[in-house]
Amino acid sequence: MTAYELVPTFSRIRVLLDGDVVADTREARIALGEGKSPFYLVPKMDLHAELVAAEGTSDDGGTLHEIRVHGGRTLEQRAVTYAAHPDLVRIDPLDLRSNRAAWDEKPELTWREENRAGMPFARSPRHRVDVIPLSEPARIEVDGQVVAKSEAASLVLEAPLPPRIYVPEVDWVEGVLQPVEGGRTVCPYKGVANYFDLSVGGKTQSRVVWGYDREAAPQNWLLPSLDRLRAVIPSGSIQVFVGKTRVPLP
C-alpha cells in the first residue's frame, strides 16, 4: 500500500449525491503521497450511507467498496478504505487517479468545501500557484508570425511545472484559436481547462492552447485571475516572448 501522510483540515467537507448528503464532516484529512494526487479521507462515523465490500483493490492497495445511499441506489467502486487508517474512507466522484482528469461528464457525486462547490479533489496545503501580472508586453509567434500580443499577460508559477505565460483571449489574432469539443481537464488549483487548436498559415497544431473560463468551472472554483486567459507550450515552432526575452522550452 502507498504510504500517505495525513494532514488535518478544519474545512467542512460534504459529499452530495443529487443534493442528498453522503458525508458531512469537519474532521476530514488530506492524504498526501509521493507522486499521488491529494485526496480527502472522511471519518466513517460521518457517512450518511452504507459501505458494501466490493471485489478488488485500488491502484494504491486499498479495499474497494460500493456506496449504498438511502433509497437503495448503489454507486460501484466509489469508496476506498485502507488498513492503516481503518476509521477513514476515501470517496471518489469519478475514477480519478491524477491531477488532470477528463471532465466531460458531470460526476454523480459532488463535493463542497465549505461553500466552494464542485471540488472533487483535495488541495494540498503545500501546493502554490502564483499569478503575476507581467511588467513587460508578451508576444507569441508561430514560425515567426505573431498570433498574440498583449500588455495584460500574466506569468503563472506553479511548481514543479515550468513557468507559463497566459495571454487574454482578446489579445490573440482573430481566427487562430479553434475550440476543441470535449477533452476538458480539471486542475484542483486552477479550475476546468478548455483546449484549442492553433491554426496558422494553413497548418493546425492540435490542443496546444488551453485556458480556464468561469462558465466552465463549478461555482466558486476558478482561480479568478485566470479567467479567459490562454496559454501555450513553447516548442520548436511556437515561440513565447516577454519583452525581448524568449521563454525557454520546457
For 27-71, the pLDDT digits (tens) are: 999 999 887 888 999 999 999 999 998 888 888 889 999 899 877
Q: Which of the residue ranges 2-6, 102-106, 204-208, 246-250 would you say has the lowest mean pLDDT?
A: 102-106
d(CA 206, CA 199): 9
Whether residue 242 is found in the same domain as residue 151: yes
Whether residue 113 is found in the same domain as residue 166: no
Are 22 and 48 contacting, i.e. CB atoms less than 8 angstroms apart? yes
Q: Residue 70 belongs to what domain range?
A: 5-117
Whether residue 134 is found in the same domain as residue 237: yes
Whether residue 111 is found in the same domain as residue 18: yes
> Can you give the pTM of this predicted structure?
0.76
The DSSP call for residue 172 is B
What number is the average pLDDT over the span 161-181? 95
CATH assignment at residue 206: 2.170.150.40
Whether residue 80 is found in the same domain as residue 179: no
**What is the secondary structure of 2-40 as a DSSP string?**
---EEEE--S-EEEEETTEEEEEES--EEEE-TTS--EE
Does residue 123 belong to any structural domain of this protein?
no
pLDDT score at 8: 94
Q: Which of the residue ranges 5-14, 106-115, 198-207 would you say has the lowest mean pLDDT?
A: 106-115
Give percent above pLDDT 90 in the chain: 53
Question: What is the per-residue burial (b if ≥16 Cβ within 10 Å, else e) of 185-223?
Answer: bbbbebbbbbbbebbbeeeebeebbbbbbeebbbeebbb
Give the tens place of pLDDT for each residue, 77-96.
Answer: 789 999 999 999 998 865 43
Whether residue 102 is found in the same domain as residue 200: no
pLDDT score at 101: 47
What number is the average pLDDT over the span 146-169? 95
Domains held by the chain: number:
2
